């Protein structure tokens, strides 16, 4: 009973987060996707587009590690980290709709692997190579996405738009 309740709570939080991120996309223009901060020290920071693609990548990575015991293949990355710490957007996602498609694709991949499990498997160890529990992976994805959602909301405001009401 406790495991099932825990899964339902996580599922509600994940679904809320996803709806909210998509609502954020609806509040801005395609041009605003490239808005980014440039700190005085010149450090490069993610744009709104890059934050959203990073969220999709990290969700996919979590499934790859959990399902295959290895990182995602090189050609699967949307936002590839370079050896110098910079990054490269590896494809063309010029519009909010194209970003929405990537997020939706990643979420479907996550749902297929994580949310399709029976409640009795939430305490299962993912693999010997990555000995964390399924619920720990789900929690990590949720926390990671939450951090980037806050950064996205801040960037949206700084770009002159208002994020949606928190419902």
Evaluate whether residue 77 is within a structural domain.
Answer: yes
The contacts of residue 129 (CB under 8 Å, 6+ apart) are: 69, 70
| Position 167 in a domain | no
Quote the percentage of the chain above a pLDDT of 90. 56
Model confidence over 56-100: pLDDT tens digits? Answer: 999 998 888 877 778 889 899 999 999 988 899 999 999 999 999
pLDDT at 94: 96
Q: Are 58 and 66 in contact (CB under 8 A)?
A: no
Residues 6 or more apart in contact with residue 9 via CB below 8 angstroms: none
**pLDDT in the model for residue 11:** 79
Q: What are phi and psi of 16, to 5 degrees?
A: -60, -50
The CATH number for 147's domain is: 1.20.120.450
| Contacting residues for 164 by C-beta, under 8 A, at least 6 apart | 20, 23, 24, 26, 27
- 71 falls within a domain: yes
Asked if the structure places residue 140 within a domain, the reply is yes
Quickly state the pLDDT bin for 105 (edges 50, 70, 90): very high
Distance from C-alpha of 126 to C-alpha of 136, rounded to nearest angstrom: 10
User: Would you say residue 166 lies in a domain?
Assistant: no
- Residue whose C-alpha is closest to residue 106's, from 58, 69, 74: 58
Domain extent, residue 39, equals 2-158
Per-residue pLDDT of 156-167, as tens digits, reads 999 999 999 987
104 part of a folded domain: yes
- pLDDT value for 1: 39
Q: pLDDT: is 22 or 133 the higher one?
A: 22
At 20-51, the pLDDT tens digits run: 999 999 999 999 999 999 889 988 899 999 99
Number of domains in the chain: 1
Q: For residue 163, is it within any domain?
A: no
pLDDT confidence band for 119 (50 / 70 / 90):
low
* Any domain includes 165: no
């Amino acid at each position: 009973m406790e495991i099932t309740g825990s899964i339902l709570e996580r599922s509600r939080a994940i679904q809320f987060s996803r709806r909210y991120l998509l609502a954020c996309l609806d509040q801005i223009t395609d041009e605003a996707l490239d808005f980014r901060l440039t700190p005085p020290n010149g450090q490069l920071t993610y744009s709104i587009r890059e934050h959203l693609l990073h969220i999709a990548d990290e969700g996919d990575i979590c499934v790859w590690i959990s399902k295959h015991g290895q990182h995602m293949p090189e050609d699967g990355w949307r936002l590839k980290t370079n050896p110098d710490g910079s990054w490269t957007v590896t494809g063309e996602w010029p519009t909010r709709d194209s970003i929405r498609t990537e997020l939706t694709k990643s979420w479907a991949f996550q749902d297929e692997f994580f949310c399709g499990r029976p409640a009795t498997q939430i305490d299962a160890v993912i693999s010997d190579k990555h000995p964390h529990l399924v619920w720990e992976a789900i929690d990590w994805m949720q926390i990671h996405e939450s951090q980037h959602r806050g950064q996205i909301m801040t960037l949206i405001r700084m770009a002159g738009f208002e994020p949606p009401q928190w419902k």
